[in-house]
A = this chain, B = another copy of it.
Amino acid sequence: MIDVCLAGTGGMLPLPNRWLTCFWLEYNGKAALIDCGEGTQITLAKHGCKLSRLDALLITHAHADHISGLAGLLLSLGNYGKTDALTIYGHEGISTVIEQLCCICPMLPFPLEVKELSETEISRFEWNGLEVQSLPLRHRIPCLGYSFMLHRKPVFNPQKAKALDIPMQFWKQLHAGETVTTQDAVYTQDMVTDEKRPPLKITYMTDTLYFKEMTGFAKDSDLLVCEGMYGDDAYLPKMQEKMHMVFSQTAELAKHSGAKQLWLTHYSPALTDPAEYAAAVQEIFTDTVVSVDGQRMTLR
């Protein structure tokens, strides 16, 4: 079970009625946060995302609207009693940015472990029992998208195990994926389970212009959270120049990647009512949510 909360949906600058985009993901008692612009710690508090659970911070890129809340967030983690390490993931060079921003919080009561990921190819790492991948996006500065995958064991099938005369003492090991070899036989997971289940997958991508590899990276996501600066296609040329996307592109991406649900985010401050474009975008991809701050979901 993974709980997620899109605690903000804004791009560029925080507004009195819209926080900067940031994504909270909680699994098994620990949380990861993607991005921390100005005010992120406030909207997290407002939406019940408990900082005490924060274990990893993933930075997409070093534009202020995605990282300017870092020092405040770290100080608050300290105030809330954090003493174990916080791991910060980001692109190559992010350590220098973090070091500079932290000049106003030099005495944290917990260590920071910064891990730099490739700017040119997909990186893979494990966090809290989930597989995480990062994809270099195409923005004006280095920028990463992230996917979280919860790999699930296939469902156990006792009928199948009995029919194949598998000794009951091996069932648990076999279900867990181990192979058991006895004098008489070799037993494997598929002998006691139904067919494999795809992982639970959540993908988050901002800021970027659209490019083909995004579709593959987001493939079969249960939830795709992706940027859209404007609902009106008239902004497409301007957005391509600024290296951003419009809603229709994001919906096309969701459709072609086979996502189950799309949440739009990172709206321009000039887009006062994104919901106005909901119907149009749902014509391209039905399960599109024009997200609002605090959008929540539990994936089971």
Contacts and interface: CB of A to CB of B under 8 A. Distances in A.
A39 interface: yes
Interface in A83-100: 96-97, 100
A238 interface: no
A105 interface: yes
Given A64-B71, A69-B38, A75-B64, A16 B101 contact: no
Nearest to A73: B38
A38 B100 contact: no
A250 B75 CA distance: 27
A127 to B, nearest CB: 25
A28 to B, nearest CB: 27
Give this chain's copy count. Answer: 2
Given A68-B68, A72-B68, A42 B14 contact: yes
Contact of A104 (B15, B46, B101): B101
Contact of A72 (B14, B79, B96, B100): B14
A299 interface: no
Contacts of A75: 13, 64-65
B39 A104 contact: no
A105 B64 contact: yes
A41 interface: yes
Given A39-B14, A39-B39, A42-B16, A68 B71 contact: yes
Interface of A: 12-16, 37-39, 41-43, 45-46, 62-65, 67-69, 71-72, 75-76, 79, 96-97, 100-101, 103-105
14 contacts: A12-B79, A13-B79, A15-B42, A16-B45, A38-B42, A39-B42, A62-B103, A64-B75, A64-B104, A64-B105, A68-B71, A68-B104, A96-B103, A100-B100
